[in-house]
Structure 1
Amino acid sequence: MIPRLRPATGLFDVIAAFVGRYHVVEFERSFAKLMGQAHAIAFPYGRTAQMMLIEALGFKDRDILLPAYSCVVVAHAIVLSGNRPVFIDSEPGGFNMDLDKAEAAITERTAAIIATSIHGYPVDLDRLERLSAAHSEVVILQDCAHSFSAEWQGSPVQRAGRAAIFGLNISKLMTSIFGGMITTDDTELAEKLRAVRARQIKGAGGRRIGRALYLGAATVALVPSIFSFVRYISRFGLLDRFVRYYDETLIDIPADYLDQIGRAEASVGVRQCAAYPGIVEHRRHIAGIYNTMLESRYPEGRPPMVEGATWSHYVLRVPDPEKLVREAAARGIEIGRIIDYCVPDMPAYREIAASQGPFDETRRLNASVVNLPLWVSERTARRVAATLGAIL
């Protein structure tokens, strides 16, 4: 079985997790250099980083705009920071937030907009700049969990705002096993972030071996020859604690969200910073293969080929995602459902979002989007595209 996701890690990354000697500050320097920014500040999770950033900016009991089509943990971090999420529908025909609707939603309570480049598609920085010029009191924050160094017409997305937020778990474009990062060119904000971190974040403790074993297990488990067994035992709920990251009824955060990353994560992170240009180039190449091979078989459901996209996911829109998932699995290919929920429709957010919306575009995406494996070799990609083309 070909898994839809696999970290870009190998034996030497696992060895680095066990014995590497890099400190977190060295990982921060490498990450800042990779993103072309003055500062990078590391945290235990991306959602922890987001909460600390909101605190450093001094926001309390304010409105923060974010996409309705986004990972639910972004909204959780807003609520747990003492603020209110205001959900914005997706742009017609695309995946990112509708910036016209975002501008219409700005009030005197609005503190910030979290602009997310979903699936690695760069947010429209020209439109965002016009919005920011008209509402200079509203802080622009970039959610780059899917878009490490994505570019809008040659301009890096992460630099187009006060700060950018990154998650670094093993499902991301690059990983440090666990962890999150804030990048910024604002030295004053960076100093405030480090002060907030010093007050609240605890040391890494003695978790190195556990983190290294986790990376080793994940790297091996997602090898195709082994993944079939992993997929089988997951049916019995034996892996839920490792793969389930939200409950629709709760606004919560991991118990260790204040436990800082250590040398295991930093050592893997430094290696991944060096490898990242090759990682994203490979994903762009595989996305191009899918796009070309599916052009005649399924032209209308393909994603747009956007210059500067990082391709965290290659997604198709299909009328019956669950059927495609089943039929692909029967042929040895795991096809994923990605963001198959509308956050403001979740029980935990219905009251908060009761007067917001509508979210018609987001719901259409929730009901139709699947993602294909991008980590695979060119030969495997051609097999995946041929198989899916035949099914579709």
Structure 2
Amino acid sequence: MTGAYPIATGGTFPDKEWVLAEIEEILDGEARLTMGDHCAAFEREFADYVGRDHGIVTNSCTSALETVFRTLDVSGEEVIVPPQTFAANASSVLSTGGELRFADIEPSDHNLSLESVRERIGDETAAVVVVHFAGNVCERTPELRALCEEHDAVLIEDCSHAHGAALDGRPAGSMGHVACFSFYATKVMTTGEGGMILTDDEEFAREVAAVRNRGLDPATDDSRFEFLGSNYRLSELAAVLGRSQLEHVDAFVDHRNEIARVYDDVFSELADRGVARPVSPPPNVRSSYWRYPVALDDGLDRTRIRDRLREEGITVDFAYDPPLHRQPFVTERYDTDGVAPNAESAMSRHVCLPIHRDLTVEDAKYVGERAASAIRKAGSATVDR
């Protein structure tokens, strides 16, 4: 057992020999460096895994989101996003000319609130983004899609946390009109840098593929730039890594669920007392457990808890602090006071325990027990004051 516990390792590659053999072919000039057979195969295989008709690889989830918003032509229209997410969910809207509108989350699961979206959606809404926080699929995704269809808006699933997760047996990424995935180094499955757009709409997929590749129409063999595009392509080297990871993503998720069960057991007493509650998925959700967030009682000083654990060689962190609507590039454009009180409260009162594929059950027991002890001590200090 090592002394430090990173949030994620960037990934091991069980099929290392196959990866090296495929990369050697590329290095020997026997296969393309970009936009070749591996990218095409990765698109097909990942779309099949999630149950969608079309997959389009990109070099990040940020570029996937930008490609989607550019294809939807959100310029001058509103896009509703949640606050408990990465900067790209806002920057991608702004960079494509859209207007941000924030909806709040449900405190119980830290996922997008259906009622909050219902209060904000209207004729000017082009799209709604639902983020499956920490790998827990938002239970309200089907209802969010129906609400979007009432207003002629597009529901986009941001599945950056949710590879291999599911709701009622339906894979994350299969329920919205469009889905975007990240394969960044810290994700459940990784290509180092990379992303994927999934859709069932053939014409939308064609335009997305064109916008991703400088606007070049993939339906023709000549150099016809039908669309205004950018270079968001994925390399063949990254696609090789993605294909190898996809073979094992369910095993990766199984392992994370095993670690989560250990943490659940350790925190059961604190949860019963309302001191520290794991933000766990409901029974009908299979989580990918990209993170293991623990919601803390109001009086606990999470910085003190983090620092105490750091002294013991254990790293915990805070997801999305500050939340998206409080980021400087947002607040300089919008007045966001009071738009998401649930998110502000939830994001300021949680810690995330390490959970990754290199963490063993024994490691998790140790980390969980030390974290629970630090929380108890923080609670005692609060009482003493």
Residues 340 and 366 of structure 1 are in contact (CA less than 8 Å); yes or no, is this contact kept in structure 2? yes
1:25–1:390 Cα change, 3 Å: same
The one-letter code sitting in structure 2 at the alignment partner of 1:387 is: R
How many Å apart are 1:389 and its aligned residue? Answer: 1.7
Q: Which amino acid aligns with 1:153?
A: D
In the TM superposition, residue 55 of structure 1 has moved relative to its aligned partner by 1.6
Contact 1:340–1:365 (CA<8 Å) still a contact in 2? no
Aligned mates of 1:20, 1:182 — CA distance in 2? 27
Give how far 1:132 is off: 3.2
Provide the rounded CA distance (Å) in 2 between the counterparts of 1:297 and 1:63. 42
Counterpart of 1:260 in structure 2 is 233
Give distance in 2, aligned partners of 1:16 and 1:146: 30
Identify the residue that residue 43 of structure 2 maps to in structure 1: 28
1:321 and 1:370 in contact (8 A); partners too: yes
Structure 1 unmatched ranges of 5 or more: 202-256
Question: Which aligned pairs between 1:69-108 and structure 2 lie closer than 5 A?
Answer: 69-108=84-123
Cα 1:129/1:139, change in 2 over 3 Å: closer
Q: Which moved more, 1:356-365 or 1:338-347?
A: 356-365
Alignment partner of 1:2 is 2:5: yes
Aligned to 1:385: 368
1:51·1:77 contact (CA, 8 Å) conserved in 2? yes
User: Match of 1:86, as an amino acid?
Assistant: R
Which residue is 1:253 aligned to? none
1:361 equivalenced with 2:342 (yes/no): yes
Contact 2:142/2:175 (<8 A) preserved: no
1: CA distance, partners of 2:22 / 2:315: 28
Tell whether 2:103 aligns with 1:127: no
Structure 2 gaps of 5+ residues are 27-36, 217-229, 376-385
User: How big is the shift at 1:59?
Assistant: 2.4
Aligned length: 336
Q: Is the 8 A contact 1:89 1:357 kept in 2?
A: no
Match of 1:323 in 2: 304
In the superposition, the TM-score normalised over structure 2's length comes to 0.82
Q: How many angstroms apart in 1 are the aligned matches of 2:149 and 2:327?
A: 34
Question: Could you say what secondary structure the match of 2:79 adopts?
Answer: strand
Q: Does the aligned pair in 1 maintain the 2:212–2:232 contact within 8 Å?
A: no
Q: Distance in 1 between matches of 2:233 and 2:24?
A: 18
SS at the partner of 1:23? helix
Residue from 115, 133, 138 that aligns with 1:118: 133
Distance (whole Å) between structure 2 residues aligned to residue 198 and residue 10 of structure 1: 28
Cα RMSD between the aligned structures?
A: 2.1
Distance (whole Å) between structure 2 residues aligned to residue 288 and residue 11 of structure 1: 24
- Is contact 1:72-1:343 (8 Å) kept? yes
Residues 324 and 298 of structure 1, relative CA distance in 2, 3 Å threshold? farther
Change (3 A) 1:263 1:130: closer
SS at match of 1:59: coil
- Alignment correspondent of 1:54: 69
Pick which of 350-359 and 270-279 moved more. Answer: 350-359
What amino acid maps onto 1:3 in structure 2? P
**What is the Cα deviation at residue 8 of structure 1?**
2.7
Alpha-carbon distance in 2 for matches of 1:331, 1:4:
15
Residues 1-392 of structure 1: matches in 2 within 5 Å?
1-10=4-13, 12-13=15-16, 15=20, 18-19=23-24, 23-123=38-138, 124-135=140-151, 137-200=152-215, 258=231, 260-299=233-272, 300=274, 301=276, 302-306=278-282, 307-318=285-296, 319-354=300-335, 357-375=338-356, 376-392=359-375
More relative contact order, 1 or 2 (CA 8 Å, 6+ apart): 1
Q: What is the alpha-carbon distance in structure 1 between the residues aligned to residue 231 and residue 15 of structure 2?
A: 28
User: Alpha-carbon deviations, 1:83-102, whole Å to 9, x = none?
Assistant: 11111111132211112111
- Deviations, residues 54-80 of structure 1 (Å, cap 9, x unaligned): 122232211000001211111001100
Q: What residue number does 2:380 align with?
A: none
Q: Distance in 1 between matches of 2:179 and 2:252?
A: 20
Matched position secondary structure for 1:159: coil
SS at match of 1:336: coil
Q: Distance in 2 between matches of 1:313 and 1:355?
A: 27
Instruction: Tell me, in whole angstroms, the C-alpha distance in 2 between the residues paired with 1:262 and 1:47.
Output: 16
Shift of 1:191: 1.0
Larger Rg: 2
Instruction: Give, in whole Å, the separation in 1 of the partners of 2:328 and 2:339.
Output: 16
The percentage of aligned residue pairs carrying the same residue is: 24
In 2, the alpha carbon distance for the partners of 1:90 and 1:279 equals 28
SS in 2 for 1:158: coil
Residue 259 of structure 1: CA displacement? 5.2
